[in-house]
């Protein structure tokens, strides 16, 4: 079945870096755009970034622009989020989420999320 599995979360100090991964299975990964969406504890959903199916376009939320980088390796069916200069306000559950082929601006499948805690 269609599945997205995030990994790489953990506790990290402010100013440090962390890389999240999202392993896809059950569908042709190279045909789909993928988003990262996060949710701070007790808060709502916040869109982070999106990458097109072929990696040709990437877009970011203003809150992470210049600090986070989204990338993908279609040969490994894996999405990444490199997070640099982390701040306390980046603490959240990070979800990878697939965009339908007909509308890259929405989500049709969500992963279960990985938790990132930024704390000294």
Partner 1 sequence: NFMLTQPHSVSESPGKTVTISCTRSSGSIASNYVQWYQQRPGSAPTPVIYEDNQRPSGVPDRFSGSIDSSSNSASLTISGLKTEDEADYYCQSYDSNNWGVVFGGGTKLTVL
Residue 67 · residue 118 · CB < 8 Å: no
Tell me the site size for partner 1, rule CB under 8 A.
21
Q: Does 61 bind partner 1 (CB under 8 A)?
A: yes
Angle at 57 between CA 52 and CA 63, to 5 degrees: 100
Q: Does 112 bind partner 1 (CB under 8 A)?
A: yes
CA dihedral angle for residue 97, residue 103, residue 104, residue 108, rounded to 10 degrees: 0
Q: How far apart are CA 77 and CA 81, in angstroms?
A: 14
- CB 72: neighbour CB atoms within 10 A? 23
Question: Of 59, 69, 84, 115, which one interacts with partner 1 (CB under 8 A)?
Answer: 59
Q: How far is the CB of 14 from partner 1 (least distance, A)?
A: 25
Question: Of 44, 56, 75, 120, which one interacts with partner 1 (CB under 8 A)?
Answer: 44
Q: How far is the CB of 66 from partner 1 (least distance, A)?
A: 15
Q: Which residues contact partner 1 by CB under 8 A?
A: 35, 37, 44-47, 50, 59, 61-62, 95, 100, 103, 105-108, 110-113
């Amino acid at each position: 079945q269609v599945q997205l599995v995030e990994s790489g979360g953990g506790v990290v100090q402010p100013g440090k870096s962390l890389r999240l991964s999202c392993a896809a299975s059950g569908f042709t990964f190279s045909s789909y755009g993928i988003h990262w969406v996060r949710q701070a504890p007790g808060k709502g959903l916040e869109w982070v970034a999106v990458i097109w199916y072929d990696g040709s376009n990437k877009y970011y939320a203003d809150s992470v622009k210049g600090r986070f980088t989204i990338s993908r390796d279609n040969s490994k069916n894996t999405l990444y989020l490199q997070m640099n200069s982390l701040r306390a306000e980046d603490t959240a559950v990070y979800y990878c989420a697939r965009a339908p082929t007909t509308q890259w601006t929405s989500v049709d499948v969500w992963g279960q999320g990985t938790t990132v805690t930024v704390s000294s």
